[in-house]
Structure 1
């Protein structure tokens, strides 16, 4: 018997959806409360490393993800003018049966996961969140934002980097900016773009792109953070940044015409100290940890949280602090290493560190995440 019979998951993003799938298909009654009126996602594209793909395969959605995305097994490094400097085989962190990386459109991943949540039998409740949590020792009494109340064996806060659940638990922690901002655009993919290529230097710290499908890709430019409300003419600014780059970037620049298709965000980080639970409410995913996308491990770590927590809940006889401690033993150190490495890469860029061992750091993280958590 699972350690829980009914669970409330707050937040329908990657971590929350993955946990809902794993628990519901094992017979646990799952309510997934999503504050938005429908499951949508911001941003343009997403890069999924092999260890993320491993969990998506376990969720039973690998075929759909593979069909919707674009797989590749190497990373290109280019000079600002477009010349190829190096082609590096990428680590297959999900194992030999999966590609090293898949790029895909974020809304497509959200739709795939939402479909799997429904097929697993979980109930998605849109436009709803938790306003108050009362731990009763053997459960959690929840006052929901529609005024109703309900009781659950477990509540999981998977409501993102600005988690309201974190505040309800009395955890006073906010995401910290790293000093970098990223401009993203989703656009058409030229045939020659068949993997991620990165440029370090030029007008930006990083200029890169990633294929997301048969004829789509997303491109991004990382510079020093500017005030969120002072981005100004987004089209003109992003196009000006591309002028320092050649090759594929000439076509990308020409496609930057609609400000509504441009996404600008800051790089931020956050790591909740262990334990991530207060009684029978626990945080997972970006509610517990977040990092700049310098290692493209954000979604992977969210998916791993869900996989490990589901495994423990479905194999334990009871829910107590021992289970949460086991969850922390398997997750906290691994997540901390990813967050710290992602921040180190950002600091090296900000400080223009000449002897930064970027390949060494990336290799150490790749070796770690290749092992199952």
Structure 2
């Protein structure tokens, strides 16, 4: 208690005991005093203190404890912000797994898939109900606009072109319908929209329509819809994963999130160094930016973190992460502008100066377009 109070972390004895009973907080190591004399704590275990501090950061009155465990597990996978800061200890992996499963079972994608499966055999009525539910759950969210086109529009002082907009993710409800109702009930055209919205490999709606149409006619490789059924289950893989696999998936998710942010910041006028361009090129070669955009959030909620971690159990994303790490090792000078000896400091100053200059230019053009007071 004293160690926590010294850090301005306020917890009660009953809270600490509750966390211990739930298996979230280890006991301090104790030394026996002899028969009938009890035991004593010789030294405060810093792991216990840091674990209690992590729980206190993420728990609030009335909040489900599993959300706090998810945030704790996510925080433990990131490096300390301040140099020399004590790393956040890992929560009990069993508690982290239970929290992941709990969150995934309540996710939008899982709810849509389960509803679609329950609607199988109900005809158009069930399909209409599925799409109505998808409209309520998914809202009007669109994917991230293409950063390269966003940057070009900023630099030219023009409006964002329509082709820069990200896909309407509501099209992906067709995949849930195919999983539950059957691909034949959805049709090749709707599924082409869904796969194009997913964004993998950069294929367009027409590309997917041609491929799926050829498969239907027996003119191309058949589509393994059973594989789609397997990939729809995010809960099962998390339950079956080993402890090490869950931690590795978190490492991959955190790493890919960093690379994704660097890609997005290109659209916000961040200086484009050769190292940054090479990282974006690697992602583009894999055709993976739209896919990353679907499951990575810059400030993820616990549910988004759980969904992203489940995705990163797939070997494809582990391989992408390793490829990007390889590129980073090959050229680590991400924040060094060629010819600028000031390194990251000069990088940041250049970025801010570019933003200010464009903002000032936009203001001048706005005044000119609106007319001056003497006109």
TM over 0.5: no
* TM-score normalized with structure 1 length: 0.22
* TM-score normalized with structure 2 length: 0.22
Tell which has more relative contact order, 1 or 2 (C-alpha 8 A, sep 6+): 1
Larger radius of gyration: 2
